């Protein structure tokens, strides 16, 4: 069980470093909007997936309070989405943009599959890796669209 806590702590530390290194200082307000919007999506979905018996988190924080992974659903996925949205390659080719949209869910899904296979942090019951990938892609797209709408509404500008 020690390895699970080391992985969880390392994932949190790496995520914090990603935020510090890749969040532009002049976009902190936007980062908060992205973070909170993505939290709504991942936290709600995480709770539903656990309640319907699709995924199980044997080793997790707040074992009495929730059956889902607080760190991943409430912090890590939303924080990574900040980097995804704020570092989006807006002036690159369409293929580069498509690759950007595919990169983030792919990397997170690969990590989740390895964690599921070799640890007790997550166990797929009636779930497969492609549901994770599709849901992350969908939520990244929704978050990106919400961000564009929010920026357009708030400033009259858009990217």
Secondary structure letter of residue 118 according to DSSP: H
Condensed to tens digits (0 to 9), the pLDDT of residues 5-45 reads 999 999 999 999 999 999 999 999 999 999 999 999 999 99
Q: Which residues of the chain have pLDDT under 70?
A: 153-159
Whether this model's pTM surpasses 0.95:
no
CA–chain centroid gap for 18, Å, is 13
Per-residue model confidence (pLDDT) at position 157: 55
- Find out whether 78 and 46 touch, Cβ atoms under 8 Å: no
The string over 6-29, giving b where at least 16 C-beta atoms fall within 10 Å of a residue's C-beta and e elsewhere, is ebbeebbeebeeebeeebeeebee
Please tell me the distance from the alpha carbon of residue 44 to that of residue 39, in angstroms, as a whole number.
8
């Amino acid at each position: 069980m020690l390895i699970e806590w080391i992985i969880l702590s390392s994932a949190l530390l790496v995520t914090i470093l990603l935020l510090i290194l890749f969040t532009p200082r002049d976009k902190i307000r936007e980062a908060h909007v992205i973070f909170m919007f993505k939290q709504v999506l991942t936290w709600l979905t995480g709770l539903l997936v656990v309640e319907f018996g699709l995924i199980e988190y044997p080793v997790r924080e707040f074992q009495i309070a929730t059956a889902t992974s607080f760190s991943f659903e409430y912090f890590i996925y939303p924080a990574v989405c900040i980097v995804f949205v704020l570092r989006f390659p807006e002036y690159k080719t369409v293929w580069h943009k498509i690759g950007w949209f595919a990169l983030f869910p792919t990397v997170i899904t690969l990590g989740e599959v390895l964690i599921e296979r070799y640890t007790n942090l997550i166990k797929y019951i009636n779930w497969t890796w492609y549901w994770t990938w599709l849901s992350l892609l969908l939520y990244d797209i929704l978050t990106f669209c919400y961000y564009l709408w929010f920026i357009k509404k708030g400033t009259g500008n858009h990217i």
